[in-house]
Structure 1
Amino acid sequence: MQEYTTYVYEKSKKKATKRLFYNLGILAALCAVIYMFVAGILGIGLSIIGAIGLIVTIIQMKNYDDKYMGITAYGDRGAKFIISETGFTMGDSVLPFAELSDLVIYVDEYAGKPRELFGMHHGGNNEITFTYKGQPYNVNYIIKNKADFQQVEKLVAKIESQTKKA
């Protein structure tokens, strides 16, 4: 039986706010470098090379920090979470798919996935929504890397085909 072991992702508003200010600081630094280039403050001969070098350095710092901090920059790992072909296991609780309704499993990102502009995804915005005994639930979980992402995609496709038959 195929399964994927991961952790519940618990978002932290405090950490997300701190990260927002960090990202705004990076954006401000990029704007300052571009302004210094346009205003000629960096010097005539070194302005183009200096501006490009500073911009590349700032972007690389951001990418390195995103990769190094990963999920802990935005939240914390919670309980151990297992997705299998027959159900979910969270801690000591087992939730078979037969007892769940309105099940939707989103597989959106993995840690280190490049963002559209610059930076990397932290891997915790993968979501599972379902209803269990009349109570709606929403669980975010972590995918560590691209290989795991592909494994989870295949597992979810298998789960969806099995739950549609039932």
Structure 2
Amino acid sequence: MKWLEEYDLEGKTKGRGLVIRGWAPQVLILTHSSIGCFLTHCGWNSSIEGISAGVPMITWPLFGDQIFNYKLIVDVLKVGVSVGVETLVNWGEEDEKGVLVKREKVKEAIEMVLEGEKREEMRERSKKLAEMAKRAMEEGGSSYKDITMVIEDIIANRESSQNGRC
């Protein structure tokens, strides 16, 4: 990545940060005790991982469902702040719509999440949602029950088709 070398991100973060090239174990990183917040594009998986990890989020949506997910995180669940676009951008219209986010706006969002007056409220809400997500995934929880029903349905349909009942 040419821009990475030009900007010298690894040099600028040496001793206080880590640059991971390629795939990174996001869930493992998000659940580390040193993580204060999560800057996310608001894809569904990343949103769920952030909620499940119990960390406040800085949302940077751009396309598709990311806008709806950001609204869920910021306006409904109240576990994040936004720096990205607030309306849907069609693919290829990024430059026209001005989706570039300035450094100062990111800095302000980080300060709001880590030092702002609603910091504790956001953290408490994040932790509560993480607990709810954990309970949902445990045996007897709603997600556990739902995935069990899906598996049972697949098995039943497979057995039916093997017995000639499609």
| TM bin (shorter chain) | under 0.3
Give the alignment's TM-score, normalised by structure 2. Answer: 0.23
Query: Which of structures 1 and 2 has the bigger CA Rg?
Result: 1
Greater helix content:
2
Greater strand content:
1
Give the alignment's TM-score, normalised by structure 1. Answer: 0.23
